[in-house]
Amino acid sequence: MSRWDALLLPVILLLTAVAGIWKKVDVYQKLGEGAGQGLQLLLHILPPLIGLMTGIQMLRASGFLDWAAQALGPVLTWLGIPPETVGLMLVRPMSGSAALGLGAELMASYGPDSLVGRTAAVMLGASETTFYTITVYFGAVGIRKTRYAIPAALCADLAGFAAAAWAVRLCFGL
């Protein structure tokens, strides 16, 4: 890290304090209010997140992900997507941490430079934790009916997964 990078955060804090003094705003009080609002938001979104994480663990423990990999294997192979990544594709829209765990397992099993390992890595970067994001952002602003947001986001995730497999084959010739 260069000297200028190390100074960036202190300079931002100093400029914020100077702007608060210039505008006659109690910066410390505003900081406390913001922290309080953050805690209220956390209490609002924590129960759905706990339910989501519990559901992910139940899917993994039940063996459903292994069954899905076997069932969807022929279709995924035809599309050029390694069937071993089906668990990652099913879990990624729900949980980023569970998807990272599955990605690490795939890379440990097949190697990070294998087709499966590289595809898993690119899939993690080419997709979003759709349900987590919708839970957090829609819940924060009080939206109850998501209408087309979830189907559109899941289609975008599927396109990202397919593009990841295609990009790995194109760039690495695997």
Widest Cα–Cα separation across the chain: 66
Which residues, 6+ apart, have CB-to-CB distance to 128 below 8 Å? 92, 93, 153, 156, 157, 160
Query: Rounded mean pLDDT of 12-17?
Result: 88
pLDDT digits (tens, 9 = 90+) for 108-163: 999 999 999 999 999 999 988 888 888 888 888 888 888 898 899 999 999 999 99
Q: Two tokens at 51?
A: 């339910």
- Give the residue with greater pLDDT, 34 vs 48: 34
Residue 85's pLDDT band (boundaries 50, 70, 90)? very high
Q: How far apart are CA 96 and CA 25, in angstroms?
A: 39
Q: Is pLDDT of 168 > 80?
A: yes
Cβ-contact 88, 106 below 8 angstroms: yes
The helix/strand count (H/E) of the chain reads as: 8, 0
Amino acid identity of residue 16, one-letter, is T
